[in-house]
Amino acid sequence: MSAGGSGASLLNVTRSRLPGIVRPAEARRRLRTRQWENPLYNSRPPERESWAVTDDGARLRVHHYGPEDAPVLLLIHGWSCCIEYWNPQINAFAENYHVIAYDQRGHGDSTWGTRKFDSDVLADDLQAVVEQAVPFGTPAVFVGHSMGGITVQAWAHRHRDRVEERATALVLANTTWGGIAEETRVLPFLNAPLKAPLRPIQAALSVPVPLPGGRIAENLVRSRILNRRAATADHAAFVLAMSRSCNPAARAKTAVALTQLALGPVGVESITVPTTVIGGRHDLLLPHAMTQRIAHALSVRGYLEELVVLDTGHASNVEAVDDFNAELHRVMYTATSGTFDRTPLTGAAS
């Protein structure tokens, strides 16, 4: 037996004798599926699991909940999250709708693929999910949070001939079309009056370090990511658990790419279906000015259905579950009943 084989055997024996040692991938899965006191946060078993395969070989985990023949609610999560981040919505909507959610590449159980990460990759991944997982001809509402909202905008631009064909409405929550490095206030020293240089911050973000757990980390999430005045300890613990469940290498690689993202308004200008924009009044990661900018661009073209401002930080679907879900219920009802007015505003730019 080779020395390498002997070492591997010894490692396997050690693991079998020390059940407390958990492989990193398994530890991340446990974070995604842990049980919470509030059942709305708990993972619901999917009716079906499938995989969308991209052109560069990435395998994207897709979960299907609820009746297959019902209108589709497609959920696209943000940076450092996963399918289970949407548990408060999956549990609320799966009885009446076909809820589809997927792990973005490198997140959750999805693999990374070979392409360099950028907005085109986000768009093409979403298109792969749409083609391979969403029943053709079924009304679908796309909901993108944070990086998921960027994904939806990039998809609308890159696959603009598919927008009206596959989506009846969009929801863009706590998102932007770029300028993250210039406008985020999540790090106190980054965009303070005396700005810190961006390059050292990008270098720090590029280090694949696992996020710590515990009360100190939860307090940081509560004060810098959520609305510290209203968010609860459970909100912070849930959001932190979802973020910790992300592969550190994928989190680092994606974070650096997002600081360089400059999609601009081209995505919003390609949207031709009614769109609701949701922002958090106390969002430091992607300040509400970013969502207002998107809403204005949609409004002048006649495609803004609602601009909703919630008293939250960045995790509006977690911090204000009832209000967020009420908006989704409204969008789903009006989208499936055909009551949206798609007529552009008089004098609006075409």
Q: Write the pLDDT tens digit of every residue in 127-142.
A: 999 999 999 988 899 9
pLDDT in tens, 288-344: 999 999 999 999 999 999 999 999 999 999 999 999 999 999 999 999 887 555 544
φ, ψ of residue 51 in degrees (nearest 5): -130, 130
In angstroms, the Cα distances linking 42 to 32, 62, 104, 202 are: 9, 18, 20, 34
CATH code assigned at 126: 3.40.50.1820
pLDDT band at 13 (very low <50, low <70, confident <90, very high): very low
Pairwise CA distance, residues 322 & 196, whole Å: 38
DSSP 246-311: S-HHHHHHHHHHHHT---TTHHHHT--S-EEEEEETT-SSS-HHHHHHHHHHHHTTT-EEEEEEES
Confidence of residue 205 (pLDDT cuts 50, 70, 90): confident
With H, G, I as helix, E, B as strand and everything else as coil, classify residue 73.
strand
Least confident range of 19-28, 97-106, 165-174: 19-28
State how far the Cα of 100 lies from the Cα of 144, in Å rounded to an integer.
12
Angle at 292 between CA 289 and CA 293, to 5 degrees: 90
Confidence of residue 22 (pLDDT cuts 50, 70, 90): confident
Output the pLDDT for position 31: 95
Decide if pLDDT at 17 tops 60.
no
What's the pLDDT score for residue 193? 59
* 145 within 8 A of 151, measured Cβ to Cβ: no
pLDDT at 19 over 70: no
Mean pLDDT rounded to a whole number for the chain: 90
Q: Name the pLDDT band for 198 (thresholds 50, 70, 90).
A: low
Query: Is 68 part of any domain?
Result: yes
Q: Is the pLDDT of residue 5 over 50?
A: no
- Phi, psi values for residue 200, rounded to 5°: -60, -35
Higher-pLDDT residue of 184, 287: 287
Is the pLDDT higher at 175 or at 204?
175
Q: What is the pLDDT of residue 186?
A: 81
* Cross-strand bridge partners of residue 72: 98, 140
Return the higher-pLDDT residue of 253 and 203: 253
DSSP structure class, residue 75: E
Dmax over Cα atoms in the chain, in whole Å? 79
CA angle 334, 337, 338 (to 5 degrees): 80
Domain enclosing residue 135, as ranges: 14-337
Domain count, the chain: 1
pLDDT at 9: 47
> Is residue 162 a part of any domain in this protein?
yes
pLDDT at residue 4 tops 50? no
Cα separation, 332 vs 326, whole angstroms: 10
Could you tell me which of 317, 327, 346, 340 has the C-alpha nearest to residue 271? 340
What is the sign, positive or negative, of the torsion defined by CA atoms of 154, 140, 77, 274? positive
Is residue 33 domain-resident?
A: yes
Q: What is the mean pLDDT of residues 13-24?
A: 56
* Domain membership flag for residue 350: no
Q: Which residues contact 177 (CB under 8 A, 6 or more apart)?
A: 150, 153, 263, 264, 265, 267, 268, 290, 293, 294
CB 123 within 8 A of CB 151: yes
- Whether 195 is in a domain gets the answer yes
In a domain, 349, yes or no: no
231 lies in a domain?
Answer: yes
Whole-Å CA distances, 289 to 58, 281, 292, 337: 34, 9, 5, 32
Side-chain-side CA neighbours of residue 154 (13 Å): 26
Q: What is the pLDDT of residues 246-259, one digit of tens each?
A: 999 999 999 999 98
Query: For the chain, how are helix, strand and coil distributed in percent, rounded to 5?
Result: 45, 15, 40
**Does residue 345 carry a pLDDT above 70?**
no
Is 343 among the domain residues?
no
User: What confidence score (pLDDT) does residue 201 get?
Assistant: 66
User: Any residues with CB less than 8 A from the CB of 280 and at least 6 apart, and which?
Assistant: 174, 227, 288, 309, 310, 311, 312, 313, 314, 315, 316, 319
